[in-house]
Structure 1
């Protein structure tokens, strides 16, 4: 852990599952008994992972459903069409 880890303000009961998921993602963090969750953010990717994990555990189901529906509505034709194998 670095000299300046960031304290993440989350509900007390959410600290452990958030800590476990961030550990799986290899984001350096610490969750000591009776202490707040601390996270070391070393890159923009780590910051995005922290935001995403905290949101996943703390947002309401309705908020997550709305967000997922918005993702499905994005028009990304380049990602939905597979190139013809003959063009390679």
Structure 2
């Protein structure tokens, strides 16, 4: 009988603009998210939970979203919380 592993591969290559890659890497390290960033290689991130995936998305969005999109997001959050 073949045994199956329930372990899910959690290492992912993340395509980030080369100019932003180091900033993303540094922020992920601050958040204690396992990652690596070597010369001329894509950013590698270990995504072990849904929270980690959301944090990665948030870090990348902060660098890639336009200023107006970020303002709109903050305004929506503010309205939802205080209205």
Q: Give TM-score scaled by structure 2 length.
A: 0.83
Show the counterpart of 2:51: 45
Q: Whose radius of gyration is greater, 1 or 2? A: 1
Show the counterpart of 1:23: 29
Show the counterpart of 1:34: 40
> What is the rounded CA distance, in whole Å, between the counterparts of 2:52 and 2:23 in structure 1?
17
> What is the rounded CA distance, in whole Å, between the counterparts of 2:17 and 2:81 in structure 1?
36
Show the counterpart of 2:11: 5
Which structure 2 residues correspond to residues 48-59 of structure 1 after superposition, within 5 A? Answer: 48-59=54-65
RMSD of aligned Cα (Å): 1.6
Structure 1 unpaired stretches of 5+? 78-88
Show the counterpart of 1:67: 73
Structure 2 unpaired stretches of 5+? 1-8
